[in-house]
Amino acid sequence: MAEPKSYRNFIDGEWVEASSRGALEDRSPADKGEVIGTFQDSGEADADAAIAAAARAFRRWRLVPAPKRAEYLFRMGEILLKRKEEYAREMTREMGKPIREARGDVQEAIDVCYHLAGEGRRLHGHTTPSELPNKACFSVRAPIGVCGLITPWNFPMAIPSWKLIPALVCGNAVVLKPASDAPLSSYHLVKICQEVGIPRGVVNYVTGSGAAVGGRLTAHPEVRLISFTGSSEVGRLVNLACADTFKRASLEMGGKNAMIVMDDARLDLAVDGAVWGAFATAGQRCTATSRIIVHKKVLKDFVDRLVERAGGLKIGDPLQESVDLGPLVNEAQLKKVMDYVQIGRDEGADPVLGGVRLTKAEYGRGFFFPPTIFTGVTPEMRIAREEIFGPVVCVLAADGLDDALAIANDTLYGLSSSIYTQDVNRAFTAARDLETGITYVNASTIGAETHLPFGGVKRTGNGHREGAAHTALDIFTEWKTVYVDYSGKLQKAQIDNG
């Protein structure tokens, strides 16, 4: 096995060691003996240096015309496209998602580059007539300043790109702090920023613990925006810290996503969607299907088919093309999933598939857990209410659409939802009444496209939406209103127009 590479922080255009000189190990979750690389275990001083570099660079970058800023981003997309396979393989090694899904993760970053770079030639503002003669009024999007980007491990290239690319096209400078479980994918993204020649200091990359580096970014007065994706627990802390210095905080957090299967649904389609939604990325997606609410009339048939299909999923080395389910990201995540399975049993739910850690020789070196299906779940059980973030899905019974909607909405979260039905009236009612930021009809809860608004309500989000250009730009710009009075005299709005 090759000696693991040592990766540095990127601050002010230089690859530098952290002042502490400590190291974080990035290990493969499929084989905990394999060290993918070592990363800097940075502290507050490193975050401060990155913030200072970004603040200096921002003064110049904001004045680069947006179409020119966008040219760097188009080139990033081209490089990502060329290296898609290499980066996908490294992603699978570092966080365990099956290789086909890792390719999709890199593809998301490519899509974001092309889509958002196009905004360099738009970044539209508004014009409107003045109420006074010889006066012009318009509003433009202005960059915010230094943005702190804090990202999770489950989409280690896609999510950083959802933040980095719009931040840059809008003229901001950034400090990116990736999740400690998957820093390599965002390292590649930052390396490409350097390769395409984005000026020094505009993009900075600091690895290290959430408390030290993330905490410093959220507290530092020169950081004007935090764009955070992660758990609701940490998001709450980030929000509180941002309030102290009056920062904008864009928070994308946890989910407990429900799929409704009505009695008129095409069950084959619903089972396909359920298997994909519950077990892709081993259930470690914010939009994962974690509750399936099934009409009583089709409950048994649906569960029988679901168990058969999920039981046939291939578990193993996520680099193999045929593997459907890789490992969980780390030991703590595995323990959390096992704890929840025990909680479900204690609550009286019935694990009709899975539920026991895999122990065969080929799984022993990684954090593998099989697809697990609980039936007999009722809405008040903890397994039906709390985010598990693993390959565990709860099946609940409903009497009809109203009951199913009530169960689906009885949650603190509100990211994604879906309904399977052939009845257009039921489909539109559900699309209107499901309390989530995203709803699918006859499709799974996962599968967002990058050019539509992405985010959730309740404890999932605080009102911002990444993705679509118009909503992403709202996160990374301030509106600036300009009045130009060419009347040559003092004119008073609301007073001189009577």
Q: Which residues are catalytic?
A: 252, 286
Q: Which of 51, 306, 415, 419 binds ligand NAP (CB under 6 A)?
A: 415
Give the nearest distance from C-beta 145 to ligand NAP in angstroms: 19
| 378 scored as a contact of ligand NAP (CB under 6 A) | no
- Region binding ligand NAP by CB under 6 A among candidate stretches 27-35, 206-214, 390-398, 426-434: 206-214
Give the nearest distance from C-beta 206 to ligand NAP in angstroms: 11
| Alpha carbon separation from 62 to 47, 55, 172, 195, 246 (Å, rounded) | 21, 11, 7, 20, 21
Instruction: Give, for 132, the enclosing helix (H) or strand (E).
Output: none
Give the nearest distance from C-beta 148 to ligand NAP in angstroms: 9
Q: Are 54 and 164 in contact (CB under 8 A)?
A: no
Q: Which is nearer to ligand NAP, 46 or 181 (CB)?
A: 181
Residue whose C-alpha is closest to residue 228's, from 163, 140, 184, 183 = 163
Q: Which of 9, 154, 161, 445 binds ligand NAP (CB under 6 A)?
A: 154
Residue partners of 336: CB distance under 8 A and separation at least 6: 388, 389, 390
Instruction: Tokens for 383, please give them.
Output: 């397994």
| 152 scored as a contact of ligand NAP (CB under 6 A) | yes
Residue with tokens 């301030």: 478
Give the nearest distance from C-beta 237 to ligand NAP in angstroms: 5
Residue whose C-alpha is closest to residue 407's, from 398, 415, 416 = 398
Q: Which is nearer to ligand NAP, 153 or 374 (CB)?
A: 153
| 209 scored as a contact of ligand NAP (CB under 6 A) | yes
| 194 scored as a contact of ligand NAP (CB under 6 A) | no
Measured in whole angstroms, how far is the alpha carbon of residue 155 from the centre of its chain?
6
| 238 scored as a contact of ligand NAP (CB under 6 A) | yes
| 179 scored as a contact of ligand NAP (CB under 6 A) | yes
| Binding residue count for ligand NAP, defined by CB under 6 A | 32
Tell me how far apart the alpha carbons of residues 174 and 168 are, in angstroms, rounded to a whole number. 8
Q: Which is nearer to ligand NAP, 280 or 415 (CB)?
A: 415
| 153 scored as a contact of ligand NAP (CB under 6 A) | yes
Give the nearest distance from C-beta 271 to ligand NAP in angstroms: 24
Residue nearest to ligand NAP (CB): 210
Q: Are 183 and 191 in contact (CB under 8 A)?
A: no
| 180 scored as a contact of ligand NAP (CB under 6 A) | yes
β-strand 126-129 against 146-150: which pairing, if any? unpaired
Tell me how far apart the alpha carbons of residues 183 and 229 are, in angstroms, rounded to a whole number. 15
| 446 scored as a contact of ligand NAP (CB under 6 A) | no
Instruction: Give the Cα-Cα-Cα angle 66, 68, 72 (nearest 5 degrees).
Output: 110
Q: Which of 92, 172, 229, 450 binds ligand NAP (CB under 6 A)?
A: 229
Residue with tokens 């060419």: 486
Instruction: Give the Cα-Cα-Cα angle 373, 277, 350 (nearest 5 degrees).
Output: 10
| 337 scored as a contact of ligand NAP (CB under 6 A) | no
| 150 scored as a contact of ligand NAP (CB under 6 A) | yes
Q: Are 390 and 354 in contact (CB under 8 A)?
A: no
Q: Which is nearer to ligand NAP, 77 or 461 (CB)?
A: 461
β-strand 135-143 against 126-129: which pairing, if any? antiparallel
Q: Which of 189, 282, 286, 373 binds ligand NAP (CB under 6 A)?
A: 286
The interface with ligand NAP within residues 61-80 (CB under 6 A) comprises none
Instruction: Compute the CA torsion angle 202, 203, 207, 210 (nearest 10 deg).
Output: 70
Q: Which of 28, 460, 462, 477 binds ligand NAP (CB under 6 A)?
A: 460
| Alpha carbon separation from 275 to 33, 329, 440 (Å, rounded) | 30, 20, 15
Q: Which is nearer to ligand NAP, 180 or 418 (CB)?
A: 180
- Region binding ligand NAP by CB under 6 A among candidate stretches 179-187, 368-376, 392-400, 469-477: 179-187
Q: Are 270 and 374 in contact (CB under 8 A)?
A: no
| 437 scored as a contact of ligand NAP (CB under 6 A) | no
- The binding site for ligand NAP (CB under 6 A) comprises 150-155, 177, 179-181, 209-211, 214-215, 218, 229-231, 234, 237-238, 252-255, 286, 387, 389, 415, 456, 460
